[in-house]
Amino acid sequence: MRVLITGGSGMLGRDVAEAAAEAGHECIPLSHAELDITDLVEVRAAVREAAPDAVINCAAWTDVDGAENAGEAAAEVNRDGAGNVARAADEAGAWTVHVSSDYVFDGTKRTPYVESDQTNPLSAYGRSKLGGEQAVAAAAPSSHTIVRSSWLFGVHGRCFPATILRLAAERDHLAVVDDQVGCPTFTGHLAPALLALAERRPLGIVHVASAGACSWYELAREIVALSGLDCAVEPSTTAEQRRPAPRPAFSVLGSERRGEAPELPEWRRGLEAYMRVGSRS
C-alpha cells in the first residue's frame, strides 16, 4: 500500500511513518512545512504527485487551550484543512483516514461513548474537530474512515507523560486533576491501527483508543511510579486548575463496530512502552 501522511513530522505522524515502514508499505510523510493542509490547491497538487492508495491525516491544531482565543485559526486547520485533505484524496481515488478526538463529546455520559452517541463539544477545539469530521464526510462521502481516539501521548512530541516527567524531576509534589477520565492512548499503538484501517476501509466513524480508563491524576501517579522519581502526586479538581478550555469530565471511548475497530492494549501497557522507547531516545 502506498500511503501519504499529512502532519508527518508530528507525534502521531512520525509513529505512523515508522509503522508503515515496518509493515513494508510505501510511505510519503509530509510535514507542515512541506504541506499546508489549509491550502486546497497545494493539497491537491501534493496528493496528485504522491498518487497514494490512502491518505492518513495526522495534521491538526492540538493546542486545546490556545484554541479558545483562536477558534477560527483552529477551525481552519481541524475543519477546513481536514476537508481539503479528504476532497483531494477522493478526487485522486484514495481512501482517507482522518484522526479525530474524544473532545467532540460533552462528558455527561458515564458509560463509554460509542460511534453513534450524540456529539456536543464543550470547547473551541472540540468544535473544530467535530467540524473536521463533518467536512471529511461531506468531501469524501464514500471513501473515508474517521478515527476518534483519546488522550494521545508519544515519544515524538509534547505530551502529558513528558510534562509530568519534567515537572516531577523539578518539584517535590504535583497536583493533577482527578475529575476528568479518559483513555490514554500511546501513538505507537494507534499508528499500526490506522494503517490497518487504511487497508480494511470501514466507512464512517470508528473509535480506537487504549483499553481501560483512568483520570489524569491516576495517569500521573503511574508515570511517576514507573520513573522512580521522588515526587508526591496529589489529586486536584478541574475548577482548581482554571484552564481556559472546558474539558469533558468523562470521555472514555468504546466501539459498537466490533470486528471493524482495532483493539489496542490497555493504557498501562502503552505507558510502559512509552517509558521504554523514550528512555532509548
275 three-class SS: helix
61 three-class SS: coil
Residues 226 and 72: their CA atoms lie apart, in Å, by: 40
Residues 153 and 146: their CA atoms lie apart, in Å, by: 19
Give the type of residue at 137: A
Residues 226 and 273: their CA atoms lie apart, in Å, by: 11
Q: What is the largest CA-CA distance in the chain?
A: 55
Set 103, 125, 217, 274: catalytic member: 125
Q: How far is CA 128 from CA 26, 59, 82, 176, in A?
A: 31, 13, 10, 26
103 classed as catalytic = no
Q: Name the CA radius of gyration of the chain, rounded.
A: 18
Secondary structure string (H, E, C) spanning 183-221: CCEEHHHHHHHHHHHHHHCCCEEEECCCECCEEHHHHHH
Name the residues annotated as catalytic.
125
